[in-house]
């Protein structure tokens, strides 16, 4: 059995979602979001992200952490902020003794919807359908669950792929 936490990085809101797999398909455990005070300077927000994620990890006790890789945006400032949040998430994983796995946005979309260019709405719909969870889970929380699902699917294939 393993338990994975997927984290959707952000410096305003970071979503997280925990799935458990024991044999068959993934089972939804819990999800949420860490909302960071936009009036704070970035270093303070990153510190808050670290502290809040650390608490979630301590409470949920995942055996792995999955996060989206950095992607390039036309807005270099947004790309840099995403990288800073990812750094905090990866550091939190390391300090918690949990191995981190990274997946590209296209890989996450492909593994959850079958389409590497899927829209946010398609991802949210498939996450809710695959995990049999209510419509109230949306946005960053659904994205985090998609990241966790991607890890579950990648882990399932590892047994079949010879390296």
Active site amino acids: 8, 68, 140
Structure tokens at 81: 């902020």
Whose CA is closest to 122, among 99, 103, 138?
A: 138
> How would you class 74 by CB atoms within 10 Å of its CB: exposed for 0-12, middle for 13-18, buried for 19 or more?
exposed
> How would you class 31 by CB atoms within 10 Å of its CB: exposed for 0-12, middle for 13-18, buried for 19 or more?
buried
d(CA 1, CA 22): 4
**Pair 18, 5: CB distance under 8 Å:** yes
User: Residue 133's Cα: distance from chain center in Å?
Assistant: 17
């Amino acid at each position: 059995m393993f338990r994975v936490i997927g984290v959707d990085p952000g410096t305003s809101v970071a979503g997280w979602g925990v799935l458990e797999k024991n044999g068959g398909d993934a089972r939804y455990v819990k999800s949420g979001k860490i909302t960071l005070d936009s009036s704070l300077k970035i270093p303070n927000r990153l510190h808050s992200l670290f502290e809040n994620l650390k608490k979630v990890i301590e409470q949920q006790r995942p055996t792995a952490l999955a996060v989206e890789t950095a992607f390039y945006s036309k807005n270099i400032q947004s790309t840099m902020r995403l990288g800073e949040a990812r750094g905090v998430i990866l550091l939190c994983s390391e300090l918690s003794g949990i191995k981190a796995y990274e997946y590209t946005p296209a890989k996450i979309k492909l593994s959850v919807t079958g389409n590497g260019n899927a829209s946010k709405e398609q991802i949210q719909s498939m996450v809710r359908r695959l995990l049999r969870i209510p419509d109230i889970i949306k946005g960053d929380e659904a994205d985090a669950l998609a990241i966790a699902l991607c890890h579950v699917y990648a882990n399932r294939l590892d047994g079949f792929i010879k390296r």
